[in-house]
């Protein structure tokens, strides 16, 4: 479980609840009509905007926000690729076949298998480039669903406010009905803003962060495989891959190897 995501939801929920509790308005902010309008409207807009093929990925994407997949660090991937480079220099490309069973990363495993099987370098490069591009596009589509929801939720909150104001004006001579109408007007705005900024937008950003990390790892793998294809010596391969590490990690790697 991603503790930062869990901690963020807990802290945000507690903060909002405490403010409502101290203001003695907790019960006033639970309005079924307002909830139906904001949630229903946001869901309807999302269904209209995106095809089923994209929407069916949403439950899995939401789970990833709390339970991200294990991913090898960039340092670990670099070490694997440098080791492969060293072995290719000692035993040739065919000598890398025994390393396949030890590699868990799907992208690296497939790329390395193509290299061992004798595919032309241009075909391998094209495969790696397309894999990275298509993965990025798929991830952007899923994140865009949550961004879309973050955009429309406050709009439906505003729509509820307008409906509530119309009801207030209609019932201006009836204080009881006017009060309930005003509650809908205010609460729908709260629901829309809360849904957008506490749930939809943070999840979209979290998914984008995970996607960027995965793409950086894939680009690192692509650079390493290309270096092996070019016949670079292991030291050159290592220096090329260090570009993908932060300055702090580079210092650690330099100290380790130096």
Domains: count for the chain? 2
1 and 62 in a common domain: no
Question: CA distances (Å), 154 to each of 133, 180, 184, 213, in order?
Answer: 32, 21, 14, 30
Asked if 128 and 194 sit in the same domain, the reply is yes
Provide the domain limits for residue 142.
Answer: 31-258
User: What pLDDT does residue 258 have?
Assistant: 53
**What are the distances in angstroms from CA 32 to CA 29, 74, 76, 184?**
9, 48, 51, 9
pLDDT tens for each residue of the chain, 258 residues long: 678 888 888 898 888 888 888 777 777 678 888 899 999 999 999 999 999 999 999 998 888 888 888 788 888 899 999 999 999 888 888 888 888 888 888 999 999 999 999 899 999 999 999 999 999 999 999 999 999 999 999 999 999 888 888 878 887 777 777 766 777 778 889 999 999 999 999 999 999 999 998 999 999 999 999 999 988 899 999 989 988 886 556 656 555 555
- Kindly state the DSSP code that residue 67 receives in the 8-state scheme: S
Q: Buried b vs exposed e over 100-139: b needs ≥16 C-beta within 10 Å?
A: eeebebebbbbbbebbbeeeeeeebbebbeebbeeeeeeb
> Do 20 and 38 sit in the same domain of this protein?
no
Based on the fold, state whether residues 47 and 6 are members of the same structural domain.
no
Q: What pLDDT is stored for residue 172 in this prediction? A: 77
- The per-residue pLDDT for 52 is 94
Output the six-digit token pair for 1.
């479980």
Query: Does 208 share its domain with 194?
Result: yes
Q: Which residues contact 68 (CB under 8 A, 6 or more apart)?
A: 2, 210
Say yes or no: 161 and 72 in one domain: yes
* Residues 135/219, Cβ–Cβ less than 8 Å: no
pLDDT at 251: 57
Q: What is the pTM of this model?
A: 0.81
Could you tell me if 99 and 14 lie in one domain? no
| 131 and 3 part of one domain | no
The encoded tokens of residue 13 equal: 């929920």
Q: What is the pLDDT of residue 255?
A: 54
On whether both 84 and 13 belong to a single domain, the answer is no
Same domain as 142, residue 59: yes
Whether residue 116 is found in the same domain as residue 17: no
pLDDT at position 245: 80
Residues 235 and 137 reside in one and the same domain? yes
């Amino acid at each position: 479980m991603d503790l930062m995501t869990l901690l963020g939801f807990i802290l945000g929920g507690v903060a909002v609840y405490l403010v409502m509790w101290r203001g003695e308005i907790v019960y006033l902010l639970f309005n079924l009509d307002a909830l139906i309008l904001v949630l229903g409207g946001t869901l309807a807009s999302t269904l209209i905007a995106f095809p089923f093929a994209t929407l069916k990925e949403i439950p899995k994407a939401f789970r990833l926000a709390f339970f991200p997949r294990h991913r090898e660090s960039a340092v670990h991937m670099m070490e694997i690729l440098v080791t492969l480079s060293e072995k290719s220099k000692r035993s040739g490309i065919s000598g890398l076949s025994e390393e396949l069973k030890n590699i868990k990363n799907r992208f690296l495993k497939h790329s390395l298998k193509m290299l061992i099987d004798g595919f032309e370098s241009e075909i391998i490069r094209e495969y790696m480039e397309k894999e990275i591009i298509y993965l990025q596009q798929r991830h952007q589509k899923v994140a865009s669903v949550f961004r879309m929801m973050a955009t429309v939720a406050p709009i439906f909150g505003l729509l509820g406010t307008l409906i509530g104001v119309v009801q207030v004006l209609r019932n201006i001579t009836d204080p009881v009905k006017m009060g309930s109408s005003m509650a809908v007007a205010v609460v729908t705005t709260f629901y829309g803003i809360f849904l957008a900024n506490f749930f939809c937008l943070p999840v979209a950003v979290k998914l984008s962060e995970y996607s960027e990390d995965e793409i950086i790892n894939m680009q690192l793998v692509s650079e390493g495989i290309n270096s092996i294809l070019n016949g670079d010596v292991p030291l050159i391969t290592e220096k090329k891959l260090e570009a993908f590490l932060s300055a702090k990690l580079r210092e650690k790697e330099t100290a380790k190897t130096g």
